[in-house]
Amino acid sequence: MRHFGIVTRIALIVTAAMFLMQLAFFVAYLGQSRSLAPPGLLIAEHVVAVVRLLDGTPPERRDSALAVANVSGFAVDVAAVRPRPSEGNHRLDGMYTLIQKALDGYAPDRQIIAIVPGGRESKAYVVDLAIPLTSGDYAVFHIADDATLRVWNKPIGFMAAIFALAISLGAVIAVSLVARPITRLARSVDRLGNRVEPIRLEERGARELRMLIKAINNMQDRILRLISSRTLFIGAISHDLKTYLTRFRLRLEMMPASPHRERAIVDVEQMEQLLNDSLLFAGDASPVQTNQSVDLNALVSGCVEELHLEKTRIEVMTSPGRLDVSLPQQPLRRVIDNLLSNALRYASHARLSTGSAGRFARLTIEDDGPGIPEEELTQVFEPFFRGEPSRNRGLGGTGLGLSIVRQILETYGGSITLENRRDRRGVRVIVLLPFAPMRQTGPAE
């Protein structure tokens, strides 16, 4: 049951309830039928009683006898001519057999005649027969199928199954309509996990569902206030620290040249970079506008040209046409610059390529560096994580670069994956970016 959705579960419950209800009615019917005579036997006895009545009634008084004999579902007439028998051996039918056995107890020399219903429009009479009378006439019976209760001329069991199926289908449709707001809520909450900008959910549906949606909206407001407070706090601290670092650096610049002075200046520069990255890391979690787009191919080419690198160090392969992605230019430029700087910091050659991957644009960056241990491929996205010595602070950086990159991408609905290259040493970075709305998907690779 854990793999079934709410609609399937409720549908199974309704089906089980309908089945148990039908089973209970069936058991109750069997219990009652055991204490009563079978309907077919009662009909047979009634037929013989009518024949006995007509045999003992003079022809001039038969109308009164027929008026008494005709009841609901049981019609009898008297015919002077022998009725035309129907084709087929109806003596093998259950009702005819019961009537013949009952008749044998009264007049064993008489045989019932199964007949065609002589133009009757009602299809309720399923037993039509004639029995000879002592006067030479024939008692013609038209008997409804009371042995099997019917609704709209169909057996009640068949109609009960049809009604149960219709009720079950109606219940499934009703449950689907009730569960539809829950499905929409699940999709909306899933979108909340991919962005920081609040999404106000419409409070509609059942009372409990409206309470849940209201709680989620309140939670979004609290998260937004928490992020805004954190951003403001880190920004204030970083600003104050940068002020003191600037003063400290000015004092160092005024000191006489010496190895200690140069090392102190390098330390101050690293501290400034750490503060800038910390402020950037905090600021990129703030709510953003996602209605901007940029051509990924053009931006990649522009970022590479600005580095003024030799072609032997970097190779660019962009897909034909435009790749418009749903990100502002500045955050996306920061992502490309950061990843490209990492690749060139640890390797002598890097390769950039763009393409399409379903609903996303794909940016791939490969280098021929030392690679990353498999167990650290996901840990490198943690802030200030330091892994294998071949890719550490000795080559620069603050340990926040990949954290900032991932945070930017997730804020705008993208993703980043790292993997080691199989053909030779190096790391492959795969970035997926959502296409801008109303864009034709580019050629897939």
Q: What HEC string does the chain produce?
A: CCCCCHHHHHHHHHHHHHHHHHHHHHHHHHHHHCCCCCHHHHHHHHHHHHHHHHHCCCHHHHHHHHHHHCECCEEEEEECCCCCECCCCHHHCHHHHHHHHHHHCCCCCCCCEEECCCCCCCCCEEEEEEEECCCCCEEEEEEECCCCCEECCEEHHHHHHHHHHHHHHHHHHHHHHHHHHHHHHHHHHHHHCCCCCCCCCCCCCCHHHHHHHHHHHHHHHHHHHHHHHHHHHHHHHHHHHHHHHHHHHHHHHCCCCCHHHHHHHHHHHHHHHHHHHHHHHHHCCCCCCCCCCEEHHHHHHHHHHHHCCCCCCEEEECCCCCCEECCCHHHHHHHHHHHHHHHHHHCCCEEEEEEEECCEEEEEEEECCCCCCHHHCCHHHCCCCCCCHHHCHHHCCCCCHHHHHHHHHHHCCCEEEEEECCCCCCEEEEEEEEECCCCCCCCEC
- Tell me if 393 sits within 8 A of 330, measured CB to CB: no
Dist CA 136 CA 80 (whole Å)? 7
At residue 424, the pLDDT reads 62
Provide the percentage of residues in the chain whose pLDDT is more than 90: 8
Q: Which of 176-185, 271-280, 301-310 has the lowest mean pLDDT?
A: 271-280
**Has residue 152 got a pLDDT over 80?**
no
- Residues facing residue 155 across a β-bridge: 150
Dist CA 110 CA 130 (whole Å)? 11
Dist CA 141 CA 144 (whole Å)? 10
Rounded to the nearest 10°, the torsion over CA 44, 45, 51, 57 is -160
- Mean pLDDT for the stretch of residues 119-128: 54
What are the φ and ψ backbone dihedral angles of 353, each rounded to 5 degrees? -145, 150
- Mean pLDDT for the stretch of residues 380-387: 73
**Has residue 364 got a pLDDT over 90?**
yes
Q: Which of 81-95, 196-210, 211-225, 234-248 has the lowest mean pLDDT?
A: 81-95
At residue 280, the pLDDT reads 67
At residue 91, the pLDDT reads 43
- Mean pLDDT for the stretch of residues 394-407: 70
Token representation of residue 190: 């899933």
Dist CA 405 CA 332 (whole Å)? 9
At residue 371, the pLDDT reads 81
pLDDT class of 416 with cuts at 50, 70, 90: very high
Mean pLDDT score of the chain? 77
**Has residue 347 got a pLDDT over 80?**
yes
**Has residue 443 got a pLDDT over 50?**
no
What are the φ and ψ backbone dihedral angles of 371, each rounded to 5 degrees? 80, 175
pLDDT class of 227 with cuts at 50, 70, 90: confident
At residue 12, the pLDDT reads 76
Q: Which of 92-101, 111-120, 248-257, 376-385 has the lowest mean pLDDT?
A: 111-120
pTM flag (> 0.75): no
pLDDT tens across 53-108, in order? 998 888 888 888 888 888 877 889 898 888 877 665 444 467 778 888 888 888 88
At residue 246, the pLDDT reads 84
At residue 155, the pLDDT reads 64
Which of 402 and 126 is assigned the larger pLDDT?
402
Which of 427 and 4 is assigned the larger pLDDT?
427
Dist CA 442 CA 445 (whole Å)? 9
- Mean pLDDT for the stretch of residues 384-394: 56
- Mean pLDDT for the stretch of residues 231-238: 76
At residue 195, the pLDDT reads 60
Which of 387 and 375 is assigned the larger pLDDT?
375
Provide the percentage of residues in the chain whose pLDDT is more than 70: 77
**Has residue 23 got a pLDDT over 90?**
no
Taking CA 105 as the corner, what is the angle to CA 104 and CA 107, rounded to the nearest 5 degrees?
60
**Has residue 126 got a pLDDT over 50?**
yes
**Has residue 265 got a pLDDT over 80?**
yes
Tell me how far apart the 2 most distant CA atoms of the chain are, in Å.
149
At residue 305, the pLDDT reads 85
At residue 378, the pLDDT reads 81
* Neighbour tally for 106: CB within 10 Å: 14
Dist CA 117 CA 38 (whole Å)? 25
